[in-house]
Chains A and B, each alone.
Chain A
Amino acid sequence: MAGERGSSSAAGAPRRLLSSRLGAYLALALSGLIAALIAGRPELVALAAPFLVLPTVAAWARSAPAVELALLPARERALEREEVPLALELRGGDAPAWVELELLGAPALAVIGWQRRFSLLLAAHEQRTLELSISPARWGVHRLPAVRAVAWDRLRLTGCETVLEPTGELRVYPRAERLRALIDPRRRQALVGSRAARVRGDGLEFAEIRPFAPGDRVRSVNWRASARRGVLHVNQRHPERNSDVILLLDTFEHVTRAEADVISHGGVGDPAGEGTLDQALRMAVTLAEAHLRARDRVGVIGFGGTLNWLEPALGQRALYRIAEALVQTEVFFSYVWKTVELIPRRLLPPGALVVALTPLLDRRGVQALFDLRARGYDLAIVECSVEPLLGEPRSASERLARRLWRLEREALRERFRELGVAIAPIALGHPLQGTIGEVIGFRRGVGAPARV
């Protein structure tokens, strides 16, 4: 995605440093000298004297000059696992210096082509630009790494430390897959789109032939049929209309692989790891991009500890707004019982296809889906399955508990299927098209109410 290239830096005040070995040398020298006085052995003076040389030089030598730093990312937006060029500009002081650079923080950004710590020699007043690349492992808003530069003098006795705290951030969007087939909403809306509607009108898909009526256009006349029947007949077609698609994100829970292990075996999990919310966001971005390309209106509702939404809209701008909203999705824990009445009516247009992206773990989220179905919404569920994140059960009781848990979840899925709601899990490591295909297949088999 395009972004501006600009400086994002706020350098702290330089700080003078001394090499750690100077303290050790002074301690050794003092110990030797005191021992010489106590023991009355001049040899110890000769042993300790060399360790005073470098501290004496350090005391008299001029400190290394500070290095000026600037961190310039090539852009401020990227996709997951995309390489983002990063330029680190250095400007030396009025003396040559041995510069040690270290990239601090930003554990989610992998540095490519360089290690996080490296040293170089900078001549006096030399300006150098280091070209790095960073690659974000996961979506979200990431702070750029801080840069710590220590400029040492030639003898590496005294140095000057400068820490550059970046003020910029990198917005990383979930990577969308290309879908070959989309879930077909059961109802159409009034706007022009890519889907054939059941009504008759101007369009591409042939519907029927009927007798000519005043007002019909001459170019709609089917001359062959008219010649065969002796009366003018016209072609009728299905007009292309769009649909409304609402992506409902269940943000009550976010389970990661580490946390799933905690659920199974106990311990401390890593809340920042890959998990159910990541699956949901990638599917959401994929569906949004595909449906917007098909000229459907797409809206997003984040239903969880907090309620967030984006009204249905068309076009590329809507995709950018959805991507920005998804990047800032977070799970906020809450005990408050929430129902669908809280969702403003304009966010759930009549006839909209509601695609729920949910791990089906929180009762509030599950009950909201049943409520939506009861209100007659066209509902499809994409399950962000927790089961692939769980490790193998380690004991007989765990195996039994796992079986019971699986049976409960299968029973829940069956309840939805009985209501005509397609439900398919996301298979980790497999294309998302497989999940969408399963939903499409179920909906074809169920038999839908007539399209409008």
Chain B
Amino acid sequence: MAALCAWVALEASRLTGVWEALAAASLLSFALGVGACRRAPVQLAVALLGAAYLGRLLAAHATLDLAAPLLGGGLLACAELAEVSLVLRGAALDRSLRLRSRLAVALAAALGGVVIGALALAAATVHVGRSLILTATGSAAIAVAAWLVVRLGR
């Protein structure tokens, strides 16, 4: 998590102080969540770092940032590993618990996210009708997310 925060802050070329502050706040929130065994600060940390990245993109980058899928996957991996840590603490454990499978699943989900993100980014590099494809892809993703909300809410 610290590495991600550092990358977001140090890659900025303008308004670096703002992004550094946001990244630091994100790291602090993450540490607080893991230390105090609370989920909300961990999720807030992910949102803060995402906001820092967005601000950095809007402030500086004119070209496509190909590292975005890695950041997304890295954030998911941090969130999932924090979740495993929170689950393991605060309750006694049975010896038969197999933790490696949980860790493998968390990392696999992050890897899958990186692949999906890379595909989405690749779709955005197509020049013909680029804005149309981007809009269509984003709208489809929003629709999928909304459907997930409904399905999981039942």
Contact = CB atoms under 8 A, between A and B. Distances in A.
Interface residues of A, number: 51
Interface string B130-154: 0100110111011011101101100
A118 B94 CA distance: 7
B6 interface: no
B36 interface: no
Given A46-B72, A55-B152, A33 B113 contact: no
Contact of B120 (A22, A28, A35, A49): A49
B58 A45 contact: no
A183 to B, nearest CB: 50
A250 B116 CA distance: 76
Interface in B88-128: 90-94, 96-98, 101-102, 105, 109-110, 112-114, 116-118, 120-121, 123-124
Interface in B63-81: 64-65, 68-69, 71-73, 75-76, 79-80
Contacts of A405: none
A201 B118 CA distance: 109
Given A39-B57, A43-B121, A33 B90 contact: no
Contact of B54 (A35, A59, A117): A35
B94 to A, nearest CB: 3
A40 interface: yes
A52 B75 CA distance: 13
A45 B138 contact: yes
Q: For B71, B93, B138, B144, which residue has the most chain A Cβ atoms within 10 angstroms?
A: B138
Given A21-B83, A43-B68, A118-B92, A50 B75 contact: yes
A37 B149 CA distance: 20
Contact of B105 (A25, A35, A117, A155): A155
A-side binding surface: helix, strand, loop or mixed?
A: helix
Contacts of B145: 26, 29-30, 33, 52, 55
Contacts, number: 172
A45 B148 CA distance: 17
Contacts of B72: 46-51
B-side binding surface: helix, strand, loop or mixed?
A: helix
B16 interface: no
Nearest to A16: B154
A34 B134 contact: no
Contacts of A52: 113, 116, 141, 144-145, 148
Interface residues of B, number: 61
Given A34-B142, A37-B135, A120 B97 contact: yes
A28 B138 CA distance: 14
29 contacts: A21-B43, A21-B79, A24-B39, A26-B152, A29-B145, A39-B57, A41-B57, A44-B57, A46-B120, A46-B121, A47-B53, A50-B72, A50-B113, A51-B76, A52-B116, A52-B148, A53-B112, A54-B109, A57-B109, A58-B152, A115-B92, A117-B91, A119-B93, A119-B94, A119-B97, A120-B94, A121-B96, A154-B102, A156-B87
Interface of B: 39, 43, 46-47, 50, 53-54, 57-58, 61, 64-65, 68-69, 71-73, 75-76, 79-80, 83, 87, 90-94, 96-98, 101-102, 105, 109-110, 112-114, 116-118, 120-121, 123-124, 131, 134-135, 137-139, 141-142, 144-146, 148-149, 151-152
